[in-house]
């Protein structure tokens, strides 16, 4: 068969179907929608099944830790009676060192069950290490495809570290420069090897994270006799938030506020060769978080099981310097040195805790391991070498790619809020030129966690701006 870019892209639906043994067409509804819950339920796994599979693989049941000293530090800047208690789910205790092991455990289990000889994942992050580790336990071959370098052959240190981790677990790592060839090469490898697509966005990837939300809710009820008031999820592709929220709901924690947090990299383009190495975060940033929230089906499966706007109550942004600040604070105050991604949520939690009464509970729902290129010192040195200026001051003045601004104290650690309607409007623009029927409006209302009248009002506003 032809390996030209266009021909491979024309075969992508068949390639993806064969690589997951999942027929997405049977979940398509009339109009623009699809039967999301049917897609999730059709897997045949209950949450108890998922928990057993994970525990059999040294995944899950991680510690939930109250950050008493960090909470006390936040209260120094809050008004009397305020400063919520901050808890942290220490996912660094998982096999491979991150919550991604929950997703990988299910993907590998399904691949083994269906008789695939190996798995492939396209990821520059912790998921690659998780897939490699779980594949090693299952005796499956593993290939990880990474976007790793710019055109000068310079690699971001965090991505290089994750490649090292994948190789340590026996995986073959295919490293590419930034650009559109990642998905093309991924499809070619799936077609050539006949391996399983261990996608982050399959139903198996999302249900693997449901246990995380389920554990948080149940452990807090057992220890504190209440559900969490707020859970903050670092948001990139949306699966982390989606799975955690679904798990909370399954445990009965239906009124918990779900807040997405990302690093603000406004102004940097993730597919730009020139911008690739100007960022100090390879995940959990706006370059992934915004587009995957407003158009989730841009992923490596026909319909993504990560639908963050179905569950998101708020979306906040923190800057790079604030995340580095809270990383150091966590180490100094709590004796916990953890990697960058989970600390994005922790930076947001530190500021939001000051706005809530003392008796409320905020949970930061994941941590990750750190070391080598993932460490903040490596990131700061790499940025400095790229000409990024290091400053002390107001973090909200930071300009991604030009400077990193560290807060002078915790008092200056703040966040920006993205109005949820702004995200809903971006989502709806994909459908604003289509003729929509009642079934479509019902689907969009669920997708956007609102009601039909609000959806119609937002669409009318889009039409007005086009006149």
Q: Are 5-46+99-200 and 53-97+204-418 equal in CATH topology? A: yes
How much is the pLDDT for 119?
98
Q: Which two tokens stand for residue 39?
A: 């897609």
The fold adopted by the segment(s) 53-97+204-418 is Rossmann fold (3.40.50)
Check residue 300 and give its pLDDT: 86
- CATH architecture of the domain with residue range 5-46+99-200: 3-Layer(aba) Sandwich (3.40)
Extract the tokens encoding 222: 């057992």
- CA nearest neighbour of 101 among 209, 207, 173: 209
**DSSP letter (8 states) at residue 301:** S
In this predicted structure, what is the pLDDT of residue 283?
87
Q: How many Å separate Cα 239 from the centre of its chain?
A: 5
pLDDT value at residue 180: 73
Nearest Cα to 388, choosing from 281, 294, 466?
281
The pLDDT, as a whole number, for residue 13 is 87
Q: Closest Cα to residue 312, out of 373, 376, 256?
A: 256
Give the pLDDT score at 315.
98
Chain segment 386-430, per-residue pLDDT in tens: 999 999 999 999 999 999 999 999 999 999 999 999 999 999 999
**Per residue of the chain (467 residues), what is the pLDDT tens digit?**
889 989 998 999 899 999 999 999 999 999 999 999 999 999 889 999 999 999 999 999 999 999 999 999 999 999 999 999 999 999 999 999 999 999 999 999 999 999 999 999 998 789 999 999 999 999 999 999 998 888 899 988 888 898 999 999 999 999 998 877 888 999 999 999 999 999 999 999 999 999 999 999 999 999 999 999 999 999 999 999 999 999 999 999 999 999 999 999 999 988 888 898 999 988 899 999 999 999 999 988 999 999 999 999 999 999 999 999 999 999 999 999 998 889 999 999 999 999 999 999 999 999 999 987 888 899 999 999 999 999 999 999 999 999 999 999 999 999 999 999 999 999 999 999 999 999 999 999 999 999 999 999 999 999 999 87
Q: Map out the domains of the chain as residue ranges.
A: 5-46+99-200, 53-97+204-418, 430-466
d(CA 466, CA 457): 15
State the DSSP H helix or E strand holding residue 182, giving kind and residue range, or none if neither: helix 181-193
Rg from Cα positions in the chain: 21
- Cα(323)–Cα(100) distance, rounded to whole angstroms? 20
Interval 316-358: pLDDT, tens: 999 999 999 999 999 999 999 998 889 999 999 999 999 999 9
In the β-sheet with 416-418, what is the strand arrangement from edge to edge?
64-66, 85-89, 361-364, 230-234, 257-263, 314-318, 416-418
Smallest Cα–Cα separation from 449: which of 314, 326, 251?
Answer: 314
Position 181 scores a pLDDT of 81
End-to-end CA distance of the chain: 47
Name the pTM for this structure.
0.96
At residue 110, the pLDDT reads 97
């Amino acid at each position: 068969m032809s390996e030209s870019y266009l021909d491979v892209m024309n075969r992508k639906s068949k390639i993806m179907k064969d690589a997951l043994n999942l027929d997405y067409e049977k979940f398509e509804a009339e109009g623009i929608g699809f039967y999301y819950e049917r897609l999730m339920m059709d897997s045949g796994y209950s949450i108890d099944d998922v928990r057993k599979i994970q525990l059999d693989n040294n995944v899950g049941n991680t510690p939930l830790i109250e950050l008493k000293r960090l909470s006390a530090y936040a209260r120094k800047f809050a008004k009397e009676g305020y400063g919520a208690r901050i808890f942290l789910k220490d996912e660094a205790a998982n096999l491979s060192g991150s919550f991604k092991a929950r997703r990988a455990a299910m993907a590998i289990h399904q691949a083994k069950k269906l008789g695939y000889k190996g798995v492939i994942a396209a990821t520059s992050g912790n998921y690659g290490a998780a897939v490699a580790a779980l594949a090693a336990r299952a005796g499956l071959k593993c290939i990880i495809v990474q976007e790793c370098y710019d055109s000068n052959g310079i690699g971001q240190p965090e991505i290089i570290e994750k490649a090292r981790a994948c190789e340590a677990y026996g995986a073959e790592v295919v490293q590419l420069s930034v650009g559109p060839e990642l998905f093309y090469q991924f499809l070619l490898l799936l077609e050539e090897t006949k391996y399983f697509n261990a996608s982050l966005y399959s139903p198996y990837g999302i249900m693997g994270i449901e246990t995380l939300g389920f554990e948080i809710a149940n452990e807090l009820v057992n220890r504190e006799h209440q559900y969490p008031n707020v859970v903050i999820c670092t948001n990139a592709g949306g699966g982390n938030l989606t799975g955690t929220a679904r798990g909370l709901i399954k445990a009965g924690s239906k009124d918990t506020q779900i807040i997405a947090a990302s690093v603000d990299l406004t102004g940097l383009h993730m597919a730009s060769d020139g911008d690739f190495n100007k960022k100090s975060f390879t995940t959990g940033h706006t370059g992934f978080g915004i587009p995957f929230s407003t158009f989730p089906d841009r992923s490596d499966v026909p319909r993504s099981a990560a639908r963050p706007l179905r569950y998101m109550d708020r979306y906040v942004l923190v800057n790079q310097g604030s995340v580095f600040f809270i990383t150091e604070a966590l180490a100094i105050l709590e004796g916990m040195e953890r990697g960058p991604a989970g600390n994005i949520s922790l930076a947001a939690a530190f500021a939001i805790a000051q706005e809530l009464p003392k008796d409320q509970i905020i949970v930061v729902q994941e941590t990750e391991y750190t070391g080598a290129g993932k460490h903040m010192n490596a990131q700061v040195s790499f940025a400095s070498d790229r000409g990024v200026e290091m400053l002390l001051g107001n973090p909200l003045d930071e300009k991604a790619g030009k400077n990193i601004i560290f807060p002078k104290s915790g008092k200056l650690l703040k966040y920006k809020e993205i109005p949820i309607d702004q995200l809903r409007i971006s989502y709806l623009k994909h459908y604003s030129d289509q003729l929509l029927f009642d079934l479509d409006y019902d689907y969009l209302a669920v997708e956007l966690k609102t009601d039909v009248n609000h959806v119609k009002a937002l669409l009318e506003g889009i039409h007005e701006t086009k006149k």
